[in-house]
Amino acid sequence: MILDLERALRSMRAARTHVTGILITVALAACSPAADDGSDVIAAPEGAAEGEDTAFAEAMTYRTRVVMLGTGNPNADPERSGPAVAVVVDDQAFIFDAGPGVVRRAAKAARDLEIPALGAARLNRVFITHLHSDHTLGLPDILLSPWVLDRPDRLQVVGPPGIDAMMSHIVMAYEADIDRRINGLEPRDANRDSYIPDVVETEGGVVYEEGEVRIEAIPITHGDWSFSFAYKVTGPDRTIVISGDAAPSEPIVEACDGCDVLVHEVYSGERFVTRPPEWQAYHSVFHTSPEQLVDIATRAGAQKLVLYHQLYWGTDDAGLLAEMRSAGWDGPLQSAVDLGVY
Ligand SMILES: [Zn+2]
Ligand SMILES: [Zn+2]
DSSP 152-200: -SPPEEEESTTHHHHHHHHHHHTHHHHHHHHHSSS--GGGTTTTSPEEE
CA contacts within 13 A on the Cβ side of 50: 4
> Distance, CA 132 to ligand 1 centroid (Å)?
6
DSSP-derived letter for residue 94 is E
Average pLDDT on 176-200 reads: 95
- Nearest Cα to Cα of residue 98 among 181, 163, 175, 186: 163
Q: Which residues contact 106 (CB under 8 A, 6 or more apart)?
A: 69, 84, 86, 93, 95, 118, 119, 120, 123
Residues, CB within 5 angstroms of ligand 2 (ion): 132, 245
Give distance in angstroms: CA of 243 to centre of ligand 1.
Answer: 11
**Choice among 36-40, 60-64, 103-107, 218-222 with the minimum mean pLDDT:** 36-40
Q: For the ranges 45-59, 141-155, 234-248, 268-282, which has the lowest average pLDDT?
A: 45-59
Q: How far, in Å, is the centroid of ligand 1 from the Cα of 71?
A: 10
Ligand 2 centroid – CA 298 distance (Å): 24
pLDDT at 41: 43
Alpha-helical regions (H) of 126-162: 133-136, 139-148
- Mean pLDDT across the stretch 83-94? 98
Is residue 93 a contact partner of residue 65, using CB atoms and an 8 Å limit? Answer: no
pLDDT greater than 90 at residue 75: yes
When pLDDT is averaged across residues 93-97 and rounded to a whole number, the result is: 98
Distance from the alpha carbon of residue 223 to the mean position of ligand 2, in angstroms = 8
pLDDT tens column, 240-270: 999 999 999 999 999 999 999 999 999 999 9
Q: How many residues does the chain have?
A: 342
Q: What distance in angstroms lies between residue 58's CA and the mean position of ligand 2's atoms?
A: 30
φ, ψ of residue 272 in degrees (nearest 5): -50, -40
Q: Which of 2-11, 129-138, 156-165, 193-202 has the lowest mean pLDDT?
A: 2-11
Angstrom distances, CA of residue 77 to CA of 2, 73, 181, 196: 40, 8, 33, 31
CB atoms within 10 A of CB 132: 21
- Per-residue confidence at 125, pLDDT binned at 50, 70, 90? very high
User: Which among 334, 257, 326 has a CA at the least distance from the CA of 296?
Assistant: 257
CATH of region 5-23+49-335, choose from 3.50.30.60, 3.40.50.300, 3.60.15.10, 3.40.50.720? 3.60.15.10
Beta-ladder partners of 208: 215
Provide the pLDDT confidence category of residue 37 given band limits of 50, 70 and 90.
Answer: very low
pLDDT exceeds cutoff 50 at 97? yes
Cα separation of 186 and 243, whole Å?
41
Measured CA to CA, the distance from residue 213 to residue 154 in angstroms comes to: 20
Q: How far, in Å, is the centroid of ligand 2 from the Cα of 265?
A: 10
Nearest ligand to residue 132 Cα: 2
How many CB atoms are located within 10 Å of the residue 28 CB?
16
Q: In this predicted structure, what is the pLDDT of residue 74?
A: 96
Residues 51-74, mean pLDDT to the nearest whole number: 93
Name which of 105, 98, 88 is nearest 126 in CA terms: 98
Which ligand ends up closest to the CA of 246?
2
- At 48, the pLDDT band (50, 70, 90 cuts) reads low
- Each domain of the chain, given as residue ranges in start order, spans 5-23+49-335
15 vs 52, higher pLDDT: 52
Is the Cβ–Cβ distance between 242 and 230 less than 8 Å? yes
Q: What distance in angstroms lies between residue 70's CA and the mean position of ligand 2's atoms? A: 14
CA-wise closest residue to 117 among 67, 159, 43: 67
pLDDT higher than threshold 80 for residue 22: no
Edge to edge, the sheet with strand 333-335 lists 205-210, 213-219, 229-234, 239-242, 261-267, 305-311, 333-335
Cα 240 to Cα 127: distance, rounded to the nearest angstrom: 14
* pLDDT recorded at residue 43: 59
The whole-number pLDDT of residue 30 equals 32
pLDDT for the residue numbered 44: 61
Ligand 1 center–CA 135 separation, angstroms: 6
Please give all residues whose CB falls under 5 A of ion ligand 1, grouped by chain where several chains appear: 73, 134, 245
Provide the whole-model pTM: 0.88
